[in-house]
Amino acid sequence: MKPVGPIPAGYAAIDGELAIGGRRVSELVAEAGRTPLFVYSRAHIDARVAALRTALPARVGINYAVKANPHLAVIGHMAALVDGFDIASSGELGLCVAVGIDPARISFAGPGKRDDELEAAIAVGVTLNCESAGEAARALAIGERLGKAPRIAIRVNPSFELKGSGMKMGGGAKPFGVDADQVPALARHVIAAGAEWRGLHIFTGSQALSADAIIEAQGNVLELAAKLAGDIGQPLPKLNMGGGLGIPYFPGDTPVDLARVGAALAERVESLPAVLAETELCIELGRYLVGEAGVYLTRIIDRKVSHGVTYLVTDGGLHHQLAASGNFGTVVRRNYPSAIATRYGAEPTEEVNIVGCLCTPLDRLADAAAMPEAQVGDLVAVFCAGAYGATASPAAFLGHGPAAEMLV
C-alpha cells in the first residue's frame, strides 16, 4: 500500500461529501454540467495572500505568475489581491488585459519572445524582462518603429541556484536570462539607447520547501542585485526576486515555514545597501498562491478487478492532470493527495488503483492507495490541482477534450 500526499488544510465534509467554498462537490458538478472539473477556491487563495502579507515586510510586493493558472476568473480575482502580474506569452497578456489589469502592473518573461509579442507588450506599456542582448536589440528596434520607449528590465542568470528546488532556473549554463557578468554592459546599453529602465529579474528556482534554502537564495539575490546596480551605475527601479516557495504534494513533505522566511527577509530589507534604498522589491509566486486552492474532480465510470487488483477507472486522467500522473518532471511516481470526494472522511477499507480513461499505462492518478469502498458514479478528488494542471496537461490527447473549470 502506498500513502497519498497530505490534503491541504481548509477542506471539510458536508453530509459525507467534500465541500469546496461551502458547497458539496455534487452540487458543483451539477452546476458545471459535467466531469472532469477543476474547482478553484477563492477562500484558499485569499488566505494564502493574507498569510504572505502578514509574514513579508511591507516593502516587498507580491506578483502572480499567470503561468501557474491562467483561468480568467482566477486572474480577475487576483487583480485586487496582488501587486503585479508576470506573464510568459502574448496569450497571457491578452487574458490580463481582458479582465482590466493595467499593463503597467505586468512584466513579461520568457527566453523565446517573438517580435509580434514584443510589439504587443511595448505598445501597451508592459515591462519586458529581456533574456538576451539579441532580444533587447529587437525590443529597441520595435520601440523605435512604434515611437515608444520600451520598458526594459533584464533577467539575470545568477551563478547560484535555489538549493533543493524542484526546478532550478539559475546557476551555470541556462537558456533563461543573461549571465550576471554580462548584465551591467547590456543595462548601460539599453539605457543609453533610450529604453525606460525597469531593473532586474532574478529567478533561481521553484517548488522549494526548505526555509533555509529560500532564505539563503533571497540573500544571494539581494547581494547580487546590489553589486549589479553599482556596476550599472544607475538606480535600480525594481527588483523581482523570483519566488521559489513550494507546496507539499507527497507523503513526508512539510509546508514552508513562511514566518521564518518573512522574518529573515525583513532583516535583509532593513539593512539594504544605499544602492537599493529606493528600489521597489517584489517576489513572484504562482504555485504557492493557487496550487492548494485547486481540486480536480473526476467521476468513476468503471470498477474492475484484474489479478486481484482493484481498479477504479475514471473519466479524467493525465490529459488534465499530467503532474498527478507522475509524468511532469518526477523521477519516481508518488501519489498526490487524493480522496473519494463523495465519501469524504469515511474510513479506508480497500486498496485501489485509480486510473484515467486513456489507453496508456501512464494514465494513473493513484497507485495502491487506501480508500473507502467506491462505486461507479462516485467522484474522485485530486488535491493540489490549482497550479500547472489544466493548461500544463495534454488536453487534446486522444480527443477527450478539456476539463471544465470554475472559481467558487
Are 136 and 130 in contact, with CB atoms under 8 Å apart? yes
Are 18 and 74 in the same domain?
no
Per-residue pLDDT of 49-75, as tens digits, reads 999 999 999 999 999 999 999 999 999
Residue type, 202: I
Q: Is residue 4 part of a domain?
A: no
Residue 157 has pLDDT above 80, yes or no: yes
43 Rama sector, left if φ>0, alpha if ψ -120 to 50, beta otherwise: alpha
Give the pLDDT confidence score for residue 164 in this predicted structure.
Answer: 53
Q: Are residues 191 and 123 in the same domain?
A: yes
| CB-CB neighbours of 163 under 10 Å | 17
CB neighbourhood size of 156 (10 A): 29
Residues 253 and 168 in one domain: yes
Range of the domain at 347: 12-40+292-407
- Residue at 158 is within a domain: yes
Kindly report each contact of residues 345-348 with a partner whose C-beta sits within 8 Å and lies 24 or more positions away, as own/partner.
345/13, 345/16, 346/16, 346/372, 347/372, 348/372
Residues 170 and 305 in one domain: no
Say if residue 117 is in the same domain as residue 183.
yes
* Count of structural domains within the chain: 2
Among residues 285, 312, 333, the one where a domain terminates is 285
Last residue of a domain, one of 285, 306, 336: 285
Q: Check whether residue 298 and residue 157 sit in a common domain.
A: no
Q: Are residues 198 and 85 located together in one domain of the fold? A: yes
CATH of the domain at 26: 2.40.37.10
Tens of pLDDT, residues 290-330: 999 999 999 999 999 999 999 999 999 999 999 999 887 66
The mean pLDDT value for 348-354 works out to: 98
Q: How far is CA 54 from CA 3, 51, 254, 260, 326, in A?
A: 33, 5, 20, 12, 34
**Residue 64 covered by a domain:** no
Asked if residue 274 is part of any domain, the answer here is: yes
Q: Which residue in 282, 357, 359, 384 is the catalytic one?
A: 359
Helix (H, G, I), strand (E, B) or coil at 20: strand
Furthest-apart CA pair in the chain: how many Å?
72
More confident residue, 165 or 207: 207
Q: Is 362 inside a domain boundary?
A: yes
Q: Is the same domain home to 241 and 182? A: yes
The reply to whether 160 and 198 lie within a common domain is yes
Q: Is residue 30 part of a domain?
A: yes
- Give pLDDT, residue 160: 77
pLDDT single digits (tens) 21-51: 999 999 999 999 999 999 999 999 999 999 9
State residue 165's pLDDT score. 47
Per-residue cell: 71: 483561468
DSSP H helices in 274-337 = 287-290
On whether both 254 and 221 belong to a single domain, the answer is yes
Coil, strand or helix: which one is 91? helix
- Which of 252, 267, 285 represents a domain boundary (last residue)? 285
The average pLDDT across 337-356 equals 98
Q: Of 68-82, 112-126, 279-293, 321-335, which range is least confident?
A: 321-335
pLDDT in tens, 227-270: 999 999 999 999 999 999 999 999 999 999 999 999 999 999 99
What is the structure's pLDDT at 168?
Answer: 47
pLDDT for 289 beyond 80 = yes
Can you give the CATH number for the domain in which 77 is found?
3.20.20.10
CA dist 279 and 1 (Å) reads: 52
User: Does 116 fall in a domain?
Assistant: yes
Answer yes or no: do 112 and 247 share one domain.
Answer: yes
Q: For the chain, what is the mean pLDDT?
A: 95
| Catalytic (active site) residue 130 | no
CA–CA dist 51, 167 (Å, integer): 24
Determine what percent of the chain falls in helix, strand and coil, rounding each to the nearest 5: 35, 25, 40
Dist CA 312 CA 322 (whole Å): 18
What is the band of 144 on the pLDDT scale with cuts at 50, 70, 90? very high
Q: What is the DSSP string of 263-301?
A: HHHHHHHHT--GGGTT-EEEEEESHHHHGGGEEEEEEEE
Q: How far apart are the first and last CA of the chain?
A: 34
Residue 239 shares a structural domain with residue 116? yes
Does 222 map to a domain? Answer: yes
Q: What is the structure's pLDDT at 294?
A: 99
